Amino acid sequence: MDISKIKEFIALWVSRIPLRYFSDPDPVVSVLRLSGIIGQVGPARSGLTLDGLEKSIERAFSGKRVKTVALVINSPGGSPVQSAQIARRIRELAEEKEIPVVAFTEDVAASGGYWLACAADEIFADANSIVGSIGVVSAGFGFTEAIERLGVERRVHAMGKRKGMLDPFLPEAPEDIARLKAIQMDIHESFKQMVLERRGDKLTSPDTDDLFEGDIWTGSQAQALGLIDGLGDLRPTMRDVHGENVKFRMISAKSNPIKRLLGSREDRARQQVLSAVSVVEEWAAWNRFGM
């Protein structure tokens, strides 16, 4: 057997194989969309929660070719608990897998939406995005005069002097307001610490406390304050980092259509009524930012 002939044949065969088979595989960016109210929107509708997103978050970080996880955020906020839990899970996997996270804000990344953005190593926004609202708010209604005019007698029996705190059918008590403020202050401090931990070295405001008064800014203003790293969109920014051959893998939470069909006709009717109320509540949350 002529070894040289065999070598020539192998060399010729190899030369005809496209070069892409010898190069590194194209990098992948997992894109996880976080859009909507955070937490339970109402009795019948659920927004962004860790329970609903955990599997999607894990899928985003899975795969040997994943080089970056991109968060596309469009949220006016919501539950501080769910904001913290979702952000914490993202950070846990980012550190475990050693994969960087980059956030891209769309219309709004405010309040809990900005909390989620702070889970990223870098934050980008559109020049016209609404960013910030680093604060805590509690809103409700008082029906004291209405119930008197209707001639309705309210009867409440409870054990524990705080069980009727902030009852909308009773006048506000100063001690109830003080208690609510104390709770809000604790939550606000957690929010501040998240921002300082993730953005502290990048903040440029001469008085950092001014950033935590619930104010909002455009993307351009937020960049000047160090609340975000730059202005940019998902695809061009990631192509600048990973090259033109980067692949985008869209990750979305999977809903269960069977679950929506379960329950009696009365249950479904009740869910429809509650959903209508939830839509109004959700509209109010977006409307705070002109959306």
Asked whether residue 191 is assigned to any structural domain, the reply reads no
Asked whether residue 101 is assigned to any structural domain, the reply reads yes
CATH assignment at residue 75: 3.90.226.10
Mind listing the pLDDT tens digit for each residue in 12-40? 655 565 544 445 579 999 999 999 999 97
Q: Is the pTM of this model over 0.85?
A: no
Alpha-carbon Rg for the chain, nearest whole angstrom, is 26
Mind listing the pLDDT tens digit for each residue in 189-238? 999 999 999 998 999 877 788 899 999 999 999 999 999 999 999 999 99
Asked whether residue 16 is assigned to any structural domain, the reply reads no
CA distance 75 to 37: 6
Asked whether residue 263 is assigned to any structural domain, the reply reads yes
Asked whether residue 231 is assigned to any structural domain, the reply reads yes
Q: Which of 73-87, 152-166, 168-182 shows the lowest per-residue confidence on average (mean pLDDT)?
A: 152-166
Asked whether residue 29 is assigned to any structural domain, the reply reads yes
Query: Structural domain tally of the chain?
Result: 1
Task: Yes or no: say if 219 and 131 are a contact pair by the CB < 8 Å rule.
Answer: yes
The residue segments making up the domain with residue 59 are 25-137+203-287
Helix 174-199 with 80-97: angle, nearest 10 deg: 20
Asked whether residue 68 is assigned to any structural domain, the reply reads yes
Asked whether residue 175 is assigned to any structural domain, the reply reads no
Q: Please, which residues have CB within 8 angstroms of residue 265's CB and are 6 or more apart in sequence?
A: none
